[in-house]
Amino acid sequence: MSYAYLFKYIIIGDTGVGKSCLLLQFTDKRFQPVHDLTIGVEFGARMITIDNKPIKLQIWDTAGQESFRSITRSYYRGAAGALLVYDITRRETFNHLASWLEDARQHANANMTIMLIGNKSDLAHRRAVSTEEGEQFAKENGLIFMEASAKTAQNVEEAFINTAGTIYKKIQDGVFDVSNESYGIKVGYGGIPGPSGGKDGSASQAGGCCS
Amino acid sequence: MFGTQSKRDLSLEIQSQIHILRPSIHARRANITVKFQDLYGFTVEGNVDDANILNEVREKVREQGRVWWALEASKGANWYLQTHVTSALKSSLKFSALVNAITLKKLIRKGIPPVLRPKVWFSLSGAAKKKSTVPDSYYNDLLIAVEGKVTPATKQIDHDLPRTFPGHPWLDTPEGHASLRRVLVGYSFRDSDVGYCQGLNYVAALLLLVMKTEEDAFWMLAVLLENVLVNDCYSNNLSGCHVEQRVFKDLLKKKCPSIYAHLEAIEFDVSLVATEWFLCLFSKSLPSETTLRVWDVLFYEGAKVLLNMALAIFKMKEEELLTTNHVGDVINIIQNTTHHLFDPDELLTVAFDKLGFMSTNISKERKKQEPAVMAELDQRLRRLNSSNLDDQS
């Protein structure tokens, strides 16, 4: 499938906050409460449209346990966007955001767009982190913020698409040199299918390499 | 008459008669996706060719079984235990032990029959010896001692139980969860430095499926972490795993220089695929019988086997890998390959016969990499600590 741009995203955050579920909800529009634990890296892809231009999002899902943080380094390379996720029902996942952000700042390019997501908004009755706290953290650290639910799909589309919108705007504003792929952006071939066109199409349908 | 049968009928027949499936060439071409259960109860999704390969594997497993039974009949039931030449043995016995050792190595590379696996693994890995050094009640005492205790490890284990091979007919039941929990929690108290590291859940789960008792699975896990694998593989910073990845990278450079050069050029880091391999010991990547064939050799020959397998996977896909332009394509090719390696011999043949002589002294290589890994991990820790101080000030 052809695209005007390809953006690479990574999803980071503590284990069990719902990273894989957010990805599956976005790529396959379904919620699978029980799925295999992510150890290495899993992929998803989907086409979206911004400003009438087809944009392919290639999303990398990672392991979240603390010990794996020393490995995730190579995932950051060439990422244009990051979804930093915490679980609104577990305070400690919010408390760890600063160190996630520190890793992201260290390993990613300085212009990476980061969206902070308070996941599991459907479990508001078990809330341990208020919306205001999320907003405050995002504001202090220059992140976009949203509460979402991978279960009900609330704000999931918006989270991925708004991030892409911000990246797209940065391109328009000339923040990125799009010919340099280390920014996580690849220019497509307009209406002409790219060299890996066939593969891309099937990946976006299946929503991942392992399905 | 396959020729006139509709695809739908055929796929129904495949699902119901998977054991005796021999579809026609038409069916092969139809490339129908079928779901079936493999030898260890895992649901596999593949095409008709994959199903055929699995049937052939079942047949080979039966043949291997006959070879092992014949050896037991001629050499005695525990002949494979007499392979270690000790000074106490007379010289004639030494020779037979040597012969047995050579036979055994070859035989194990061809696969241990599933019925014999629990017994052979338990002896050859050193688990039996480890267990024999403590009182018989050790495992039960451990379980009683840890009952009701809550630690970060137990919390994480509870979180991961349903996420370990979900949908498996035994592992994903209350009974399976409880059993896996006891093994993992028990181990987390036995070695509090390791506690619990994700990846161990997959390893322990597969051990539970193979070993006859939960207690034996526990001892297999213990011998793996304490004797078979590299040190600190599952420590809090995965330092052993980092070392192993660097050793692997160097081996790739030596054994597959063109792949290595290409992957460097597109900035592909081996950790993207090898982390899962080295921490789950391929259980999450390869089909179950293929994984267990790797483990057969792992328990007898040691952790270097994992490097052979990792190299073999890259080697098998050399041509395809050299045409990639992006990191994502490399990961796709590798994951697609591992998920469909239904024929264990396909992998093991490359791993042991097609990579050339592995002259490298692996433990020396590991020692060489350790300082760099430690320095890197230390630097990260200091960076995080200093940023914490900044936040607090």
Query: Stretch A94-108: mean pLDDT, rounded?
Result: 93
How many alpha carbons fall within 13 Å on the CB side of residue B244? 29
Residues of A in contact with B339 (CB under 8 A): 210
CB contact A20 to B (< 8 Å)? no
**What digits encode the pLDDT tens for the residues A60-83?**
998 988 889 888 778 898 899 999
**How far is the alpha carbon of B339 from chain A, nearest alpha carbon, in Å?**
8
A40 touching B, CB under 8 A? yes
- From first CA to last CA, the distance across chain A in angstroms is 19
Give the number of A-B residue pairs with CB atoms closer than 8 Å: 100
From the list B242, B280, B331, the residue facing A39 with the nearest CB is B280
Question: What is the structure's pLDDT at B19?
Answer: 44
SS (H, E, C) A119-164: ECHHHHHHCCCCHHHHHHHHHHHCCEEEECCCCCCCCHHHHHHHHH
> Cβ separation of B329 and A68 shorter than 8 Å?
no
Residues of B in contact with A34 (CB under 8 A): 162-163, 166
pLDDT attached to residue B391: 53
* CA gap A146, B150 in Å, rounded: 33
Residue B3 has what pLDDT?
Answer: 39
Judged by phi (left if over 0) then psi (alpha if -120 to 50, else beta), residue B324 lies in beta
Phi, psi dihedral angles at A108 (to 5 degrees):
-100, 170
A51-60, A80-89, A151-160, A195-204: least confidently modelled range: A195-204
**pLDDT of A192:** 37
Distance from CA of A166 to the nearest CA of B (A): 23
**Which one of A15, A74, A196 has the shortest CB-CB distance to B271?**
A74
Quote the tokens at residue A78.
Answer: 């060439």
Give the closest-approach CA distance of A91 to chain B in angstroms: 15
Helix (H, G, I), strand (E, B) or coil at A81: strand
Assess contact for A75 and A40: CB atoms under 8 A: no
Count CB neighbours of B353 within 10 A.
Answer: 10
- For residue B97, with 0-12 CB atoms within 10 Å meaning exposed, 13-18 middle and 19 or more buried, which class applies? middle
Using one digit for the tens of pLDDT, what is the confidence trace for B106-145?
A: 999 999 999 999 999 999 999 999 999 999 999 999 999 9
Q: What part of B 129-158 touches A (C-beta under 8 Å)?
A: 156
Rounded CA-CA distance B233/B225 in Å is: 8
- Pair of tokens at residue B133: 């050094």
**Ranges under pLDDT 70 in chain B:** 1-31, 83-94, 359, 388-393
CA distance A108 to chain B (A): 14
Q: Which of B234, B241, B383 sits opposite A106 (nearest CB)?
A: B383
